[in-house]
A = this chain, B = another copy of it.
């Protein structure tokens, strides 16, 4: 049989990160290429307690079919919590529980994008989201990211030029892969430009709670008087990614379409995990838990940056971070970045070449991404020492 696939998937390839994971599976290779929360960050004991309680008190509630919109008490709790804590959400918004924040990207794309429409994104940006937009045959328009977020002039240029732009995709806090946090002024500017040019914003915020230094900045969604922001939240980094629970707060009309798409995609999100998240959020001290996570990541990031200062500089430079899971490293212009990453794997340390995160294959970058949350301290030391030896030989 000669299989004929749809136009939209003809050119899709498995993500470069996942390909690199194959090298990382070799136990002798130190992997700095993942994006997993630190194993010590999981509230495993609490989840075990909650789950045992659910299974003894009302197992059918956790095992039976549920509604597409999500577990009603969890939706209510999150609506109140996000409103009170982050000024996110209004009367004209609704909330949908999703199978991880990744599903928000798919549902929003499916509901909004026609083939050939444009998505404006930070460049570089999260490959998982970019690939979802690509899977609907969207054109990606990359806007360079600076130390304080998108280049606003370039963003306006793109909005002027792209008549078919449907939304701006941004990760304002500790962006993956660049580690950049968008300034308050730029958040406002991005919002104002989106209003001016009549496009939506997807604000993807998986790392916002993982701030271990500096001040918390307002969500773009908190400015959203015009009903143009789709906010994407996730429990993957603060409770558990394996449970696949995320949520989106967005204008009701958009949520309605996303609900219909979700119905045909997985009917509803695993209800057992929704019950567990709800109970963890409401019956335990979630703020104290977040405080504990910040402490874990603060220590681990400081340890990593110390190692990088010692071994990588001056040939490899990097941007210091106040939160999130990733560090973005720049090679000297004369060095072939792809070759460097390949040599690194051969030397038994795996990093992700920056090209994986670019909006278009012709967009040039000489950077690579390091993740510090997944490896042990010993692995971090070993991996960065290897990179350090390579840096000295550049």
Contacts and interface: CB of A to CB of B under 8 A. Distances in A.
B263 A18 contact: yes
Contacts of A114: 6-8
A241 interface: yes
A265 B99 CA distance: 8
A65 B265 contact: no
Contacts of A243: 63, 270, 272
A36 B64 contact: yes
17 contacts: A1-B228, A9-B110, A9-B257, A9-B261, A12-B257, A15-B263, A35-B65, A36-B65, A42-B63, A44-B63, A64-B240, A66-B242, A99-B266, A102-B267, A131-B264, A270-B273, A272-B273
Interface stretch (A50-58, A211-219, A293-301, A346-354): A50-58
Interface magnitude class on chain A: 35 or more
Given A7-B114, A111-B9, A244-B269, A264 B135 contact: yes
Q: Which 6 A-B pairs have the closest CB atoms?
A: A48-B55, A132-B264, A44-B59, A63-B240, A99-B266, A242-B271
A62 B261 CA distance: 28
Interface string A95-131: 0000110110110001111100000000000001001
A7 B198 CA distance: 19
A102 B265 contact: yes
A371 to B, nearest CB: 12
Interface in A126-176: 128, 131-132, 135, 166
A7 B63 CA distance: 36
A333 interface: no
Interface in A219-245: 226-228, 236, 240-244
B60 A106 contact: no
A254 interface: yes
B242 A65 contact: yes
A18 B68 CA distance: 9
B64 A254 contact: no
**Copies of the polypeptide in the assembly:** 2
Contact of A64 (B3, B14, B37, B266): B37
Interface in A245-280: 251, 253-254, 256-257, 259-261, 263-273
B260 A14 contact: yes
Interface centre among A13, A51, A166, A268 (most CB of B within 10 A): A51
A307 interface: no
A332 interface: no
Interface in A50-85: 51-52, 55-56, 59-60, 62-66, 68
A48 to B, nearest CB: 4
A66 B228 CA distance: 33
A113 B264 contact: no
A39 interface: yes
Contacts of A56: 48
Nearest to A198: B1
Contacts of A266: 99-100, 102-103, 106, 244, 266
A342 interface: no
A48 B135 CA distance: 39
Contact of A110 (B6, B102, B227): B6
Nearest to A246: B266
Nearest to A66: B242
A132 B269 CA distance: 17
A48 B44 contact: no
B65 A251 contact: no
A20 interface: no
A6 B270 contact: no
Given A100-B267, A106-B265, 8 more contacts: A6-B111, A8-B110, A63-B240, A65-B242, A132-B265, A135-B260, A243-B270, A265-B265
